[in-house]
């Protein structure tokens, strides 16, 4: 039986949980995991349920029945089948640690996605991508051709049917237009020093200031650059004994982990955008199980 997911949000009111649970019970569905949260600040209720249909009903059938059940209401919902892997386009420049980490997790099934293409503005990772039987597209970006380059990138996204774009250390600023078109569907990774240490070599800046924690932040991309809703963060402790190059190496590892966790949460429909923030529910049982160990 397929593992199905129901996600929904609506203005806060009484009886939503009862409506959902009654519908699933009457439809012959067995709930395995349920998470809910009321965002008082934004007056919004969020819910995610993981369940199976004991009667073998598909997500399309359940969606049609649920729409009839809640007709006229302001509930925003979506059914998902976790057997249907999300199509993803990865974009990368010259730092390959996040890309290589994602390729490994994808290869062993720890990150159950369908990598539809990799786009880069350099040729550095063509061979490693093609060796994974993944289409590689090198699109050079300059001040003069930026509009045309983004049009080519968006064409690849459309043609592949990608639902998510991952910026795995892609070092080009996306236009406001692209950010708006792909709102909630582009995930980025950056060092957590922003906005404290901007510009070139942020780890060297942090080293010179003697910081004791370095880390990374993964967030949805908006027109406000690195100010989008945060999905995942982590840190690693450093001491006076570490060098600036140590900072870079430690930062590289935490960036890879944080980006992978953010993608994992997104593809399993655990992330909801609420204003400028996110609601990120915990993983359901067995979500971290890999097809292979290595």
Q: Which residues are catalytic?
A: 226
Structural contact between residues 125 and 115, judged by C-beta atoms closer than 8 angstroms: no
Contact present, 188 and 226 (Cβ < 8 Å): yes
Which strand ranges, in their side-by-side order, compose the sheet holding 186-191? 136-138, 113-120, 86-92, 164-167, 186-191, 213-220, 230-237
Does the N-terminal peptide bond of residue 232 adopt cis geometry, omega within 30 degrees of 0? no
Strand order from edge to edge, sheet including 44-53: 29-39, 44-53, 4-11, 76-81
Q: Which of 228, 154, 150 is nearest to 188 (CA)?
A: 228
Residue in 99, 117, 116 with CA at minimum distance from that of residue 256: 99
Tokens of 28: 């012959």
Q: Which helix (H) or strand (E) holds 181?
A: helix 176-181
Instruction: List CB contacts of 127: < 8 A, sequence separation 6 or more.
Output: none
Place of tokens 């709102």: 183
* Residue 122, CB-side half-sphere exposure with 13 Å CA sphere: 11
Task: Identify the burial level of 159 via C-beta atoms within 10 angstroms of its C-beta, where 0-12 means exposed, 13-18 middle and 19 or more buried.
Answer: exposed
């Amino acid at each position: 039986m397929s593992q199905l997911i129901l996600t929904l949000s609506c203005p806060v009111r009484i009886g939503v949980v009862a409506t959902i649970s009654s519908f699933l019970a009457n439809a012959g569905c067995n709930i395995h995991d349920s998470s809910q949260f009321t965002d008082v600040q934004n007056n919004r209720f969020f819910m995610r349920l993981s369940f199976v249909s004991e009667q073998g009903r598909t997500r399309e059938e359940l969606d049609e029945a649920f729409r009839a059940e809640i007709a006229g209401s302001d509930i925003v919902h979506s059914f998902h089948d976790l057997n249907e892997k999300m199509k993803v386009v990865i974009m990368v420049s010259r730092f390959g640690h996040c890309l290589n980490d994602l390729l490994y997790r994808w290869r062993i099934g720890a990150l159950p996605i369908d990598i539809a293409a990799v786009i880069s503005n350099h040729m550095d990772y063509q061979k490693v991508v093609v060796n994974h039987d993944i289409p590689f597209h090198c699109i050079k970006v300059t001040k003069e051709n930026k509009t045309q380059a983004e049009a080519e990138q968006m064409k690849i996204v459309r043609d592949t049917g990608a639902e998510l774009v991952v910026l795995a250390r892609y070092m080009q600023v996306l236009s406001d237009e692209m950010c708006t078109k792909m709102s909630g569907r582009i995930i980025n990774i950056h060092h957590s020093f922003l906005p404290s240490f901007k510009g070139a070599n942020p780890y060297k800046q942090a080293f010179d200031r003697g910081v004791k924690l370095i880390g990374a932040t993964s967030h949805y991309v908006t027109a406000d650059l690195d100010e989008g809703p945060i999905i995942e963060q982590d840190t690693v402790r450093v001491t006076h004994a570490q060098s600036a190059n140590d900072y870079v190496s430690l930062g590289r590892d935490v960036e890879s982990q944080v980006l992978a966790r953010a993608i994992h949460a997104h593809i399993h429909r655990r992330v909801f955008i609420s204003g400028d923030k996110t609601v990120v529910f915990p993983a359901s049982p067995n979500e971290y199980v890999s097809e292979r160990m290595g």
